[in-house]
């Protein structure tokens, strides 16, 4: 009886599969590229496609913006905020005039 229970436990353990979808993992590089694409003004679909995400993730573009991409967006935002703080009023005025010209 005990041997049958052990065999059953081994069989069930071998049958278990990993959770999630193995094969597609968001790397830090993919997240960075997607975040940069979003900052450049690309649509979420185009940004994910350009970053190398799988077609299923690209189709669900707004749901494909995961925590890794949001973290990269926050890093980029902090960098732009720091750049804005370092600008003098004269620099800002020159940028605005140059942009309007």
Q: Which of the two residues, 1 and 70, has the higher pLDDT score? A: 70
CA 37 to chain centre: 11
DSSP string, 48-67: HHHHT--HHHHHTTTTT--H
Report how far residue 9's alpha carbon sits from residue 3's, in angstroms, rounded to the nearest whole number: 10
pLDDT for res 19? 47
Q: What is the pLDDT of residues 49-61, one digit of tens each?
A: 999 888 888 888 7
**Phi, psi values for residue 41, rounded to 5°:** 105, 10
Does residue 73 or residue 4 have the better pLDDT? 73
DSSP label at 21?
-
């Amino acid at each position: 009886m005990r041997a049958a229970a052990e065999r059953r436990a081994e069989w069930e353990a071998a049958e278990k599969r990993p959770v999630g979808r193995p094969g597609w993992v968001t790397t830090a590089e993919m997240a960075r590229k997607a975040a940069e694409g979003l900052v450049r003004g690309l649509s979420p679909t185009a940004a994910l496609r350009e970053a190398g995400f799988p077609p299923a993730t690209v189709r669900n573009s707004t749901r494909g913006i995961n925590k890794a991409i949001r973290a990269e967006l926050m890093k980029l935002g902090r960098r732009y905020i720091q750049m804005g703080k370092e600008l003098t009023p004269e620099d800002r005025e020159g940028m605005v005039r140059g942009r309007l010209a």
